[in-house]
Amino acid sequence: MKLPHLASLNGILDTLPTIPKLPTLQRTRKTSKIIGFLDKNTSNFHEQLPLQTTRRTALALASIALVGTSSNGISLAEDNGYWITDLLSVPSVENNITNPETGTRSFIKTGVYVANLNTKNRMYRLKKYAFDLPAMADLIGPDTLNYVKKYLRLKSTVMYYDFDKLISAAAVDDKQPLITLANRLFDSFEKVKDVGSSKMRNFPQTESCYRDTKVILQEVMDRMA
């Protein structure tokens, strides 16, 4: 037996439209793909990395490189042909490109792995680094000078050892011109480092020294062309 008011309520409920089921929303996680190019053969290094870097790109790459910090830890991974697992050896140079007063160069950064390329690709790397470094002149300022110095130190260290290997592999008549060019460049690097040190912090002089360095870097690019 149904009560009258319940019967009327059932009638109303029967007339209501059925509520459609909403489709289930599924969240799809977007995953970023990391694309890398691995090649053990260093003979095609210059084909993989065309020299099309713009000044703006060079600045962007510099900002990325300066964020990272070097690690003194020892890698325990096995040697698979792409990286080394032992302690990084301290490289030495065979030619007369050191500072005669110190027997080394003040900008040398230790613990840096320098890929062992053939002569052709060392020339390409020197040319590319000489192309990238002038862009850093626009970043010299009170808040950015330390980053400029770190980037310059990293690049100049690689250029230092590349120049030494090139000089060793060069013909007899080409050795002395390369030694002269290398010493002019590295003397200029040291001067930029000294005037930009925390003791001096002479920004106008640092900019002036960097302008002089840019002229020598252009000579390096012309020589390595």
Return d(Cα 209, Cα 207) in angstroms, integer. 5
Q: pLDDT (tens digit, 9 = 90+) per residue, 44-64?
A: 545 444 554 455 555 555 554
Nearest to 184 by CA among 207, 205, 214: 214
Return d(Cα 223, Cα 217) in angstroms, integer. 10
Nearest to 97 by CA among 108, 89, 87: 108
What pTM did the predictor assign? 0.63
Give, for all 225 residues of the chain, the pLDDT tens digit. 544 554 454 554 455 555 555 555 445 444 444 333 344 445 554 544 455 445 555 555 555 444 444 444 444 444 455 666 666 666 789 999 999 999 999 999 988 888 889 999 999 999 999 999 988 888 877 788 788 888 999 999 999 999 999 999 999 999 999 999 999 999 999 998 887 665 556 677 888 888 899 999 999 999 998
What domains can you pick out in the chain, each with its CATH number? 119-225 (1.20.120.290)
Return d(Cα 182, Cα 163) in angstroms, integer. 7
Which tokens in the block code for residue 171? 């013909």
Return d(Cα 118, Cα 83) in angstroms, integer. 17
Return d(Cα 97, Cα 122) in angstroms, integer. 17
Q: pLDDT (tens digit, 9 = 90+) per residue, 76-88?
A: 444 455 666 666 6
Q: For residues 57 and 65, is the Cβ–Cβ distance under 8 A?
A: no
Q: Count CB-CB contacts under 10 A for residue 106.
A: 13
What single-letter DSSP state applies at residue 22? P
